[in-house]
Amino acid sequence: QVQLVESGGALVQPGGSLRLSCVASGPISDIYTMAWYRHAPGKQREFVAAMSSIGIIDYHYTVRGRFTMSRDDAERTAYLQMNRLTVDDTAVYFCKGDLGSFSGPGMRTRADYWGHGTEVTVSS
């Protein structure tokens, strides 16, 4: 089945950088919008960034200028380069993919898929 797996989370000091990756696997036929969300302790899940299939990128205003999203569809991978991290960036980061998949002979299904998250902790 279709799966998304994030990696790259770690403990980093304020001002540091991390690069998150999200790899999609399974019977994928199309990759539409890929997005990153985060869930910090005591807060609701929050949109971070999204990139459409034609390269249009949107960022949450709190990360604009510090985070850069990219994707490599041939590798079925989305990335989130995070620079100048602050303690407020501490969260579990989730990848969401709007993906098409082969669901049967001549059939394709489009749905949103989520990864299980990767933990980012920014602390001195």
Residues 73-107: tens digit of each pLDDT: 999 999 999 999 999 999 999 999 999 999 888 88
Contact 96, 35 (CB under 8 A): yes
The helix (H) or strand (E) run that includes residue 30 is: strand 28-39
Low-confidence ranges of the chain (pLDDT < 50): none
pLDDT score, position 103 = 84
Compute the residue count for the chain: 124
Phi, psi of 42 (to 5 degrees): 80, 5
Q: Are the CB atoms for 57 and 50 separated by under 8 Å? A: yes
- Residues 60 and 34: beta-carbon distance below 8 Å: no
